[in-house]
Amino acid sequence: MQSKGQQLGVTLSGLIMTLIVLGTLALFIMRMWPLYNEKMKVDQAMDHLAANPAAARMNKAEIVQAIMRQFDVSDVDRFDTPSLSKVVTVGKKRGTPMMEYEIRAPFFSNLDIVMKYRNAKEFGPVQGDE
């Protein structure tokens, strides 16, 4: 039989504390993943738009429609065309689109997670303008 000083292992209170920390971390990740995943899909739609050579000649309505098509493909349901028109602005420099919005999601009880999104893309030179 080993003495108390030589015994190895985890106490019950240590195990419970570890499980509480891991559970809290898992809850945080489960609540944050949909927001982060949507952010990645919006970034992908903006990148796709910036890679389109014809996008530099688009007006705001055409830019919104192009982004909505990408949202339909990547299953972003937060926006419809009128609400997307409110968060998309087009810069003065040859149609530089920018999206800026805020998402609130419940975390626990009456605590919310807030994500602010802001992304602007610049188009490359238009063919024939060089």
Query: pLDDT value at position 130?
Result: 42
- Residues 68 and 65: their CA atoms lie apart, in Å, by 5
Q: Of 57, 66, 63, 124, which is closest to residue 88 (Cα–Cα)?
A: 63
Domain spans in the chain, listed from the N-terminal domain onward: 34-120
Each of the 130 residues of the chain gets a pLDDT tens digit; together they read: 556 667 788 899 999 999 999 999 998 899 899 999 999 999 999 888 888 888 778 888 888 999 999 999 998 888 888 988 888 888 766 567 888 889 888 888 888 888 999 888 877 554 444 4
